[in-house]
């Protein structure tokens, strides 16, 4: 059975999608961008600040669903520039210091609202 996850501690969806969906002990978290959930505005700063906000948003969704960062098995990072790869890794490593999940990272032409990063995540119990 499919369970829709929704929390006010992460940005509301800006399109016809759910923040996350859980099916059979697996949680699929939609791509998160660096929006402050209180203001729905892109956080100020560069790639490090944006990466922190994205990962905080993912954490809030994980928490709402009864998961944690340690349950994440796969992430996909979409970057506006591969020049930001090293800085993203520095921030990402603080959230996944031990037994990090599988991951892919791609540079894309554009991201919603002109942000520098978007991350989608899969977690499992």
Q: What is the mean pLDDT of the chain?
A: 97
What is the C-alpha end-to-end distance of the chain, expressed in Å?
A: 15
Percent of the chain with pLDDT over 90: 98
Give 109's DSSP letter.
S
Kind plus residue range of the DSSP H or E element containing 21:
strand 20-23
In degrees and rounded to multiples of 5, residue 111 shows phi and psi of -125, 160
Residue 14 pLDDT: 87
Residues of the chain with pLDDT under 50: none
Dump pLDDT digits (tens) for 7-33. Answer: 999 999 989 999 999 999 999 999 999
Q: Domain ranges for the chain, please list them.
A: 2-124
Helices within 5-117 (DSSP H only): 47-64, 85-95
Is CATH 3.30.1330.40 what the domain over 2-124 is classified as, yes or no?
yes
């Amino acid at each position: 059975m499919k369970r829709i996850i929704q929390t006010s501690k992460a940005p509301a969806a800006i399109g016809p999608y759910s923040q996350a969906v859980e099916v059979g002990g697996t949680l699929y978290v939609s791509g998160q961008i660096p929006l402050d959930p209180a203001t729905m505005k892109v956080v100020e700063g560069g790639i490090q600040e944006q990466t922190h906000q994205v990962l905080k948003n993912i954490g809030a969704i994980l928490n709402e669903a009864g998961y944690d960062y340690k349950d994440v098995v796969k992430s996909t990072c979409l970057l506006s520039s591969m020049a930001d790869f090293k800085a993203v890794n520095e921030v990402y490593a603080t959230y996944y210091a031990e037994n990090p999940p599988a991951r892919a990272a791609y540079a894309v032409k554009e991201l919603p609202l002109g942000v520098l990063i978007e991350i989608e995540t899969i977690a499992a119990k």
